[in-house]
Amino acid sequence: MKKHYTLSVALAGLTVASVSNAQTSVTLYGVVDNGIAWQNSSTSKGSTSGGHSAVTMTNGAWAGSRFGLKGSEDLGGGTSTIFQLEAGFNSENGQSQFTGGLFTRQAFAGLANANYGTLTLGRQYTAYYLMLSPYSPTTYLTGFFGAHPGDIDSLDTTYRVNNAVMYTSPKIAGFTFSASYALGGVAGDFNRGSTWSVAAQYLNGPFGIAAGVQRINNSTPGGGTWGTDSTTNSGGQPGLSALNNGYQTAQAQQRIAVTGGYRFTPAWDVSFSYSNVQYVPGIGSAFHQEAIFNTGGLALHWKPGPALDLAAGYSYTWATEANGIHHAAQYHQISLTQYYALSKRTGVYTGEAFTRANGQTLGSNGVQIINATATVGDGFNSTPSSSGSQVVVGAGILHRF
Q: Give the CATH number for residue 198.
A: 2.40.160.10
Tell me which residue range forms the domain holding 191. 3-400
pLDDT score for 22: 52
Instruction: Evaluate whether 249 touches 285 at the Cβ level (below 8 Å).
Output: yes
What pLDDT, in 10s, does the model give residues 318-370? 999 999 999 999 999 999 999 999 999 999 999 999 999 999 999 989 999 99
Q: Are strands 360-362 and 3-10 parallel, antiparallel or unpaired?
A: unpaired
CB neighbour list of residue 330: distance below 8 Å, 6 or more residues apart: 316, 317, 318, 319, 357, 358, 359, 372
pLDDT score for 97: 80
Torsions phi, psi for 142 (to 5 deg): 65, 150
CA 25/CA 10 separation, integer angstroms: 19
Note down pLDDT in tens along the chain; length 401 residues.
Answer: 344 433 333 323 333 333 344 588 999 999 999 999 999 976 654 444 466 888 999 999 999 999 999 999 999 999 999 999 999 998 888 888 877 778 989 999 999 999 999 999 999 999 999 999 999 999 999 999 999 999 999 999 778 899 999 999 999 999 999 999 999 877 777 788 899 999 999 999 999 999 999 999 987 766 666 654 444 444 445 778 999 999 989 999 999 999 999 999 999 999 999 999 999 999 989 999 999 999 999 999 999 999 999 999 999 999 999 999 999 999 999 999 999 999 999 999 999 999 999 999 999 899 999 999 999 999 888 889 999 999 999 999 999 99
pLDDT score for 95: 86
Closest by Cα among 323, 316, 309 to 366: 323
CB neighbour list of residue 135: distance below 8 Å, 6 or more residues apart: 208, 209, 210, 259, 260, 261, 271, 272, 273
DSSP 8-state secondary structure symbol assigned to residue 385: B
* Dihedral sign of CA atoms 126, 257, 383, 157 in order: positive
pLDDT score for 190: 79
Q: Which residues are 168's β-sheet partners?
A: 118, 178
- Domains of the chain: total: 1
pLDDT score for 382: 85
* Dihedral sign of CA atoms 87, 89, 95, 96 in order: negative
Q: What is the mean pLDDT of the chain?
A: 88
CB neighbour list of residue 67: distance below 8 Å, 6 or more residues apart: 28, 29, 30, 31, 86, 87, 89
